Chains A and B, each alone.
Chain A
Amino acid sequence: MLLPAYGWLLVSVFLPLGAMLVFSFLKTNPFGSKAPLVFTTNNYLAFVTRPYLVGVAWTSLRLGFWTTGICAAVGLPAALAIARATRGRVRQTVFLLTILPFWTNGLVRVFSWTMLLRQGGILDDLVHLAAPGAASAGLLYSFPAVVIGLVHAYLPYMILTCYLAVASIDDALIDAARSLGARLPTVFATVVLPLALPGLVSGSILIFVPVIGSFMEPRILGGRIGVTMGTVIEDQFTQAYNWPLGSALSFSMLGVVLAIFAACSGVLRERLAA
């Protein structure tokens, strides 16, 4: 019965990934050339032979941490508000508004941010309207601009996963905590947060992984600042046409992500079990 599912998994996930894995050990692109394939592990030494990539990887990780952190800080309260303070049609409407960014083309979304954030853009104008003497507030081509674009793109994941976790919290638990004299912050920290943790964790994973590989937002919103592992890998595929190096860098980043998850998983398992 599961055969079609496994078949689909094989075709859609393992074949492309496997092909990329083979690519990552090649010396040159195999396209159309009649020369025999030469295998090498040199591509995996990229971080050693190109030390500047360490700094680039750190930029990507910082982007990941900032974006995931802000998504968590905004997403959990938003999910709580939707689950606890809305009903029926209002809830449907709020959900629709939450998911709306998903339905817009990513490129359109990013370019609309450039209009908003640039010097003399909409945001700048608003600031000057409120405080005419203020310095120019153009955020475009900066680290915060990239984070803003990424948060906007990925926040819905966090809200949805947190909502699922928060909605299943039994009201009686909160009532019990209140009747035992806990104030709201205590209720949040000791009852709601631990129960919402699975949602936060799955949301964070869903966001962190694509963010550290993102290239469109850094490229368009980051300007000079926008060099990340995502753009370096993209360059290998589209500009330098060094697919083997691009694939090796992708798998290296995958390794880094898995290592981070492995480091966190011990702590999380304890918390989730408690």
Chain B
Amino acid sequence: MVRSQWNRRKFTSTLGLGFAAALASWPRRSSAAAAGTITVLNWQGYGTDLAAGLRQFKAATGIDVKHDYYNSEPEMLTKLRTNPGAYDVVLVNSARDAQAQVEGLIEPIDLAKVANAAGLAPAFGTHPNILIDGKTYGVPWVWGMNALAVRTGKGLQVDSYAALANPAFAGRGAVFDDAVTAVAIAALMTGQGINNPSDMKKIGDTLKSFKKDVKLIWSSEDEWNKAFAADAFDVSVFWSGAVTRAVNLRRQPVAFVIPKEGAVGWLDNLCIPASSTKKDAALQFIDFMVDPKFYAEWAKVGAPASANNATMEALPADDLNKQIHKPEYLSKLQFMGALPDDRRQAFADVWEEVKAYYAQS
């Protein structure tokens, strides 16, 4: 191995070269600055802030991307209302699109201007959540299902949510601490619509019937993984994407099951706030986000399923995300839709009451 010999002359010439390079790049940088900076509002660690992606986007367009985060959907809406002009792209659960649209918080998007949207699964491109009054208010980005996760290797047969009320699973179940999901699952079991169940009493009673089985009411993926790894439960309400992460990243013995009653679907879309001043740059960023190349990058660290058919088809056949998020499931799903405030509160109340019932000894 030859150690590089740095002498003074070489050093000076290198310095000179570097200086020249810096000078040469100067105007380029300022033009990049003119292209500007956009601000994205999203959950932390949810794709848009992936460092590798941001580097590629900057290299391709010269646009810098800053982030602000929210911890709940109401917080996201509040931030949009109270900071007009601060955000250029916002990730919205499509169930909230209608509310944001009514308040004039988000802008219609011309999907024709988003080249990579051409590959969108048709069911998503025209999804009623995002298509309001004939206009599209967001670009469908990722989607997933809430159904059951079942431990493998114990020979368990589960094909219905009723497993959570089955004495065979006493003390071996877990549910997600989320009112909307809990109500939705009870609605599926009782043959009602998940977004506007007609019989809330039945919903509450169905959820209460889980009492003997429920060991854990989990509220974060991390909590779920710790408890599952410690063998605290066998069957749980869980997210499809989280199951792929549990298997791929943590080697957990778990399978995702879509019970015969169906599953709860959700669709996240990228929207442009009506108050954004950099809508073109925002559209460029959204186009980059739905690009299969970016998804490949994100998938390395555990992405949810892409709403872009082209992306999912490009995945290898043994990819777990591809196996779990089959296109034919789309027809079996009921998607989370818009909820007026009073119904949301009714869901929260019923879930709070059920949890209090679970806690009684």
Chain A residues engaging chain B, CB cutoff 8 angstroms: 28-29, 31-33, 50, 52-53, 55-56, 59, 111, 114, 118-121, 140-141, 143, 219-220, 222-227, 231-232, 235-236, 238-242
Contact = CB atoms under 8 A, between A and B. Distances in A.
B69 interface: no
Interface string B249-270: 0000000000000000000000
| Interface SS of chain B | helix
B81 interface: yes
Contacts of A29: 74
A109 B171 CA distance: 25
For B80, B82, B348, the residue with the greatest tally of chain A CB atoms inside 10 Å of its CB is B348
B82 A240 contact: no
B230 A219 contact: no
Interface string B195-221: 000000000000000010011110100
Nearest to A54: B356
B81 A240 contact: no
Contact of B345 (A33, A59, A240): A240
Contacts of A240: 179, 344-345, 348-349, 352
B234 to A, nearest CB: 13
B42 to A, nearest CB: 18
A175 to B, nearest CB: 49
8 smallest CB-CB distances across A and B, nearest first, come from A32-B81, A240-B348, A227-B359, A241-B74, A52-B356, A31-B78, A223-B216, A32-B82
Contacts, number: 86
B313 interface: no
Interface string B346-361: 0011001101111111
Q: Using C-beta atoms within 8 Å of the partner chain, give the interface range for chain B.
A: 35 or more
Contact of B232 (A118, A220, A231): A118
A117 B98 CA distance: 46
B287 interface: no
A238 B72 contact: yes
B230 A56 contact: no
Contact of B361 (A119, A140, A143, A242): A143
For A56, A111, A143, the residue with the greatest tally of chain B CB atoms inside 10 Å of its CB is A56
A224 B230 contact: no
B178 interface: yes
B223 interface: yes
B353 A224 contact: no
A141 B356 contact: no
B359 to A, nearest CB: 4
A268 B358 CA distance: 37
B216 A227 contact: no
B227 to A, nearest CB: 8
A29 B216 CA distance: 31
B230 A119 contact: yes
Interface in B74-105: 74, 77-78, 80-82
Contacts of B215: 141, 223-224
A225 B81 contact: no
B77 A32 contact: yes
For B77, B80, B359, B361, the residue with the greatest tally of chain A CB atoms inside 10 Å of its CB is B359
B155 to A, nearest CB: 21
A120 B305 CA distance: 35
B357 A114 contact: no
B348 A235 contact: yes
B226 interface: yes
A143 B177 CA distance: 19
A118 B223 CA distance: 13
A82 to B, nearest CB: 36
Nearest to A114: B226
B232 A242 contact: no
A55 B230 contact: no
A50 B359 contact: no
For B81, B358, B360, the residue with the greatest tally of chain A CB atoms inside 10 Å of its CB is B360
A52 B357 contact: yes
B348 A119 contact: no
Given A114-B226, A119-B230, A225 B353 contact: no
Nearest to A228: B359
B81 A31 contact: yes
Nearest to B71: A238
B231 interface: yes
